[in-house]
């Protein structure tokens, strides 16, 4: 019996709508398994800029640190995307949040739900059975390296890619351990034929390999990995890489599953951990009750598994999602020839399935 506290950061766009469904599901699981939980809401992104002028305010940081884990919806608003003069942007809040919470490992599982294979633009026989975990380093590399900026005349710009041995070791340790808990295969993705940081990554990984003798480790250049991910997605089990490569490869990998609306993520940190869908704030759908809440709901499954050490609860949520897909209780992005359900209808259905599971 657990009693846990969640920091709830709904964010912008469809964030609040999908978060409401996720919380219904967390409530249903807690009722079913006899846990209790409480929530503290906080602002992040455009809504935080509008309210207090800061995309990641101090109060939000404290709320996150005071909780057992963070649930995060999405952030971003066209208001800022289309304004090159904006001094503060919602995305800065995300980077600040990752850095200050020490969220160094971003786990993005990619798999194809049974019966969903045809949603992928790739051939069904290629994606069937694909099931891999992308581990993206999240608090270093090009995103955070200093110096970053422009020359005085404005005509030269620079970013810096820096990785320390410690940063590389801690993400690789997590990736090796994940591989041990799965199919024992690790692909280290880099550009060691060109980049010094990549050569350090490869060296450190090779030094660590003997400690994980049960894991089959391979090294792959990022350009080759980009090709292989869609050519032969079933090749991969755990894939680990640096921040920018991981950003790009995980968007690409999402194509395998066929729907961005089904992909959750977990960000594991030194101070806490955070769970969010990989899709964005989808402003065109905000307030319309049409967005797919399943990625957010699946993120709560990862919350139970990774933050609360409760794998059975996580499995229960995943089963409920699979059941909703089979029953075609889905939003318009997945409805084909069947009526589309609303965001809240899908949330209600999944929560009810969990509550009534034993009657089945
Ligand atoms: C992601 C996003 C972010 C990133 C942006 C919004 C800063 O693309 O979470 O993948 O690049 O990390
Ligand atoms: Mn991205």
ipTM of the complex in this document: 0.99
Domain residue spans in the chain?
A: 1-111+259-360, 117-258
- Evaluated on CA atoms 208, 214, 219, 223, the torsion sign reads negative
pTM tops 0.90: yes
Which residue's CA is minimally distant from atom 2 of ligand 1? Answer: 247
**What is the 3 state secondary structure string of 6-72?**
EEEEEECCCHHHHHHHHHHHHHHHHHHHCCEEEEEECCCCHHHHHHHCCCCCHHHHHHHHHCCEEEE
Report pLDDT for 123.
95
- Give per-residue pLDDT as tens, 101-133: 999 999 999 999 988 999 999 999 999 999 999
Band of residue 91 on the pLDDT scale cut at 50, 70, 90: very high
Q: Would you say 345 is a known binding-site residue?
A: no
pLDDT-derived band at 358 (thresholds 50, 70, 90) equals low
Q: Do domains 1-111+259-360 and 117-258 have the same CATH topology?
A: yes
By the CB criterion, residues less than 5 angstroms from ion ligand 2 are: 247
Residue whose CA is at the smallest distance from ligand 1 atom 4: 247
Task: Tell me if the domain spanning 117-258 has CATH number 3.40.718.10.
Answer: yes
Q: Does the 1-111+259-360 domain belong in CATH 3.40.718.10?
A: yes
Q: Which atom of ligand 1 is nearest to the CA of 247?
A: 10
What lines the ligand 1 site, CB under 6 Å? Answer: 91, 94, 247
- φ/ψ region of 211 (left if φ > 0, alpha if ψ in -120 to 50, else beta) reads alpha
From the centroid of its chain, how far is CA 322?
A: 19
């Amino acid at each position: 019996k657990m009693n846990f506290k969640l920091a709830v950061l709904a964010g912008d766009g469809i964030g609040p709508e999908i978060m409401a469904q996720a919380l219904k599901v967390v409530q249903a699981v807690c009722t079913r398994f006899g846990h209790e939980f409480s929530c503290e809401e906080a602002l992040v992104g455009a809504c935080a800029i509008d309210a207090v002028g800061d995309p990641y305010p101090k109060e939000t940081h404290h709320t996150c640190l005071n909780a057992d884990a963070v649930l995060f919806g999405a952030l971003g608003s066209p208001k800022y995307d289309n304004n090159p003069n904006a001094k503060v942007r919602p995305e800065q809040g995300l980077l600040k949040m990752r850095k200050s919470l020490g969220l160094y490992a971003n786990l993005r599982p990619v798999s194809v739900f049974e019966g969903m294979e045809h949603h992928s633009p790739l051939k069904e026989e290629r994606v069937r059975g694909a099931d891999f975990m992308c581990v993206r380093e999240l608090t270093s590399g090009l995103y955070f390296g200093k110096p970053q900026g422009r020359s005085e005349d404005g005509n030269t710009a620079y970013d810096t890619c820096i990785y320390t041995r410690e940063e590389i070791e801690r993400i690789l340790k997590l990736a090796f351990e994940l591989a041990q808990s799965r199919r024992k295969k690790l692909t280290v993705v880099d550009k060691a034929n060109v980049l010094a940081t990549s050569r350090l990554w490869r060296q450190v990984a090779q030094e660590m390999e003997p400690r994980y003798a049960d894991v089959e480790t391979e090294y792959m250049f990022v350009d080759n990995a980009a090709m292989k991910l869609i050519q032969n997605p079933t090749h991969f089990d755990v894939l680990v890489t640096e921040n920018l490569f991981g950003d790009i490869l995980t968007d690409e990998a999402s194509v395998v599953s066929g729907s961005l609306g089904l992909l959750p993520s977990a960000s594991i940190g030194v101070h806490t951990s955070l769970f969010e869908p990989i899709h964005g704030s989808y402003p065109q759908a905000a307030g319309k009750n049409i967005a797919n809440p399943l990625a957010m709901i699946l993120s709560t499954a990862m919350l139970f598994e990774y933050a609360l050490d409760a794998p059975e609860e996580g499995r229960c949520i995943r089963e409920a999602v699979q059941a909703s897909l089979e029953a075609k209780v889905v939003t318009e992005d997945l409805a084909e020839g069947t009526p589309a359900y609303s965001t809240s209808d899908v949330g209600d259905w999944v929560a009810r399935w969990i509550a009534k599971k034993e009657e089945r």
